[in-house]
Amino acid sequence: MKCLVTGAGGFIGGNITRRLLKLGHEVVTFQRGNYPELNQSGGTHLQGSITQKELLMDAMKEVDAVFHVAALAAISGPREDFEQANVLGTRNVIEACKANGVKRLIFTSSPSVVFDGKDQIGIDESEPYPSFYLADYPRTKAIAETEVIAANSDQFWTISLRPHLVWGPGDRHLFPRIIERARQGKLKLVRRHGMKIDACYIDNAVDAHICALNQIATNPDCRGKAYFVSNGEPTSPEDLINSFLSCAEMNPIRPSVSPLLAKAAGWLIENIYKTPFFSGEPPLTRFVAHQQSTSHWFDLSAAMRDLDWKPTISTAVGIERLRQHHSAEEPVST
């Protein structure tokens, strides 16, 4: 099968690409940058933005399936940038798929599309989209997801996957950011009893994408739907983050910030960074503060049932793999 992967220069997209090649598929990738490691993996690698519709049209010629992973996943930034990348870019992908007769579209979404700032305790896919979003990233990803799902038809099959906090060897964002902030003495945890989160090891996220590719052709029940994807092991943020710190041989930290203080600080810092006196990404926003102050874990039974998928790499095994991967890579780059 000939597959196209958008955003293959990223962590999830790159791993999907390598898995597809390993399985014997013909792969075309489409990403903004030039990635030597990706170029050496095999396949055909095209450079461009998903906002460039004509380039996408050409890239999708004779393609059977598309994995749309590319997105702007920043915690802040100009509203227009999120609209262009996540909304317009997804519309271009859908249009290019239809114009080229692509049959299958697997969209990488996020659980944040249904996050309303409150606890998400064992929620399933019936959870509605909120009426208000704390950031442009989840808002625009929700728009994109609804349009992907609405595009599903007898001639064009779509699935949206919602992997949560994807981590593992090769991650250039979540793990390095945690380690760097800990080294700077800026890593803080919210103190709230009973709070749990569920993250997703990279192999489990990739498995879900491959299962979706296979099942979408044989199981009509999975078409036009969204699915949560994670490890299925809700744990305290303290335990998970300290496991990450142990991989870098760093001391554990303890929760020390109240939820109220975290949310107030997020609001204040986010607004300060909107003034002309500050630039760059704020260290804390309302969205991040609410995420860090709430539980978020999910009922995975729909993905297990409809996609014939289950998480096969436990958190403990994933941590050990992460430890081995980074054992010879000190300091962790950011």
Q: Tell me, what DSSP letter sits at residue 83?
A: I
Backbone angles phi, psi at 161, to 5 degrees: -110, 140
Distance between CA 17 and CA 56 in Å, rounded?
17
Distance between CA 334 and CA 328 in Å, rounded?
16
Catalytic residue among 133, 137, 201, 227: 137
Cβ 294 vs Cβ 120: under 8 Å: yes
Whether 137 is a known active-site residue: answer yes
Cis omega (within 30 of 0) on the bond before 331? Answer: yes
Q: What angle is formed at CA 231 by the lines to CA 197 and CA 148, rounded to 5 degrees?
A: 90
Q: What is the DSSP string of 230-256?
A: S-S--B-HHHHHHHHHHHTT-------
| Residue 165: both structure tokens together | 């906090």
Taking the CA atoms of 296, 297, 302 and 306 in sequence, report the sign of the dihedral they define: positive
- 35: Cβ contacts below 8 Å, ≥ 6 apart: 8, 9, 14, 45
What long-range pairs does 75-78 form, CB within 8 A, spacing at least 24? 75/135, 75/137, 75/281, 75/282, 75/285, 75/287, 75/288, 76/135, 76/270, 76/273, 76/281, 76/282, 76/285, 77/136, 77/281
Among 274, 187, 201, CA closest to 232: 201
- 305: Cβ contacts below 8 Å, ≥ 6 apart: none
Cβ 26 vs Cβ 5: under 8 Å: no
Distance between CA 230 and CA 198 in Å, rounded?
6
The catalytic residues are 137
